[in-house]
C-alpha cells in the first residue's frame, strides 16, 4: 500500500485525467453535431429573394434572418435564412441594428434540402446599395466568393 500523500496525489492525477478526457469527448461531440452546409442546403438550388425583414436573431453558432417574400399571386411567405456567427458578421460590418423589422432586403444563397421556405444566405443587400457577406460555412459553394465588406 502507498503512503497517504502518494494516494492523494494519485487520486488527484486520476481525477484530472478523467476530467480532461470528458472535456475532450464533449468537445468532439459538439464539433460532430455542428452540421456541414451540404447536410442541410442544396448547392443546385440557388435562390435570390426580395422581401421585408420581420425578425433577426443574433445567436451562436448561427444567426438567422426572417423576412416576408411576396409571391406572384400576392401571397406572402415568411422565409428564414441562416447566417454565420454574430462575431463574424460584426467583423463584416453587419449587426442586428442594420436589419430592423421593416427593412427591405435582397438575399442570395441556397435553398434548404427539405424544400421549405428556409435557406443559407451568402449575401444580403440593402436598398442603400450596401451588400454584406453573411455565410460562414467553409464547404458552401460561395465560400470562395469575394464579397467586400459594405461601405
Asked if 142 contacts 122 with a C-beta cutoff of 8 angstroms, the reply is yes
Long-range CB pairs of 70-78, under 8 A, 24+ apart, other chains included: 77/117, 78/54, 78/117
Helix (H) or strand (E) holding 126: strand 118-126
Residues 52 and 16 both lie in one domain: no
Whether pLDDT at 4 is above 90: no
Q: Are residues 9 and 63 in the same domain?
A: no
pLDDT of amino acid 151: 36
18-43: pLDDT as tens digits: 655 554 544 444 444 455 777 788 88
Domain that holds residue 62: 37-133
Domain count, the chain: 2
Confidence of residue 103 (pLDDT cuts 50, 70, 90): very high
Distances (CA, A) of 98 to 8, 69, 85, 127, 150: 57, 19, 16, 12, 11
- Residue 72: pLDDT over 80: yes
What is the pTM assigned to this prediction? 0.70
Res 28: pLDDT? 44
Amino acid at each position: 500500500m502507498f503512503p497517504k500523500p502518494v494516494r492523494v496525489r494519485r487520486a488527484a492525477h486520476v481525477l484530472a485525467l478523467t476530467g480532461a478526457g470528458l472535456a475532450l469527448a464533449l468537445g468532439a461531440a459538439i464539433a460532430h453535431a455542428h452540421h456541414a452546409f451540404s447536410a442541410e442546403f442544396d448547392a443546385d438550388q440557388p435562390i435570390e429573394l426580395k422581401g421585408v425583414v420581420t425578425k433577426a436573431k443574433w445567436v451562436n453558432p448561427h444567426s438567422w434572418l426572417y423576412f416576408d417574400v411576396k409571391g406572384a399571386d400576392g401571397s406572402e411567405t415568411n422565409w428564414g435564412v441562416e447566417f454565420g456567427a454574430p462575431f463574424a458578421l460584426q467583423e463584416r460590418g453587419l449587426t442586428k441594428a442594420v436589419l430592423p423589422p421593416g427593412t427591405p432586403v435582397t438575399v442570395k444563397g441556397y435553398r434548404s434540402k427539405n424544400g421549405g421556405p428556409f435557406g443559407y444566405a451568402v449575401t444580403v443587400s440593402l436598398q442603400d446599395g450596401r451588400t454584406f457577406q453573411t455565410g460562414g460555412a467553409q464547404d458552401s459553394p460561395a465560400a470562395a466568393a469575394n464579397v467586400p465588406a459594405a461601405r
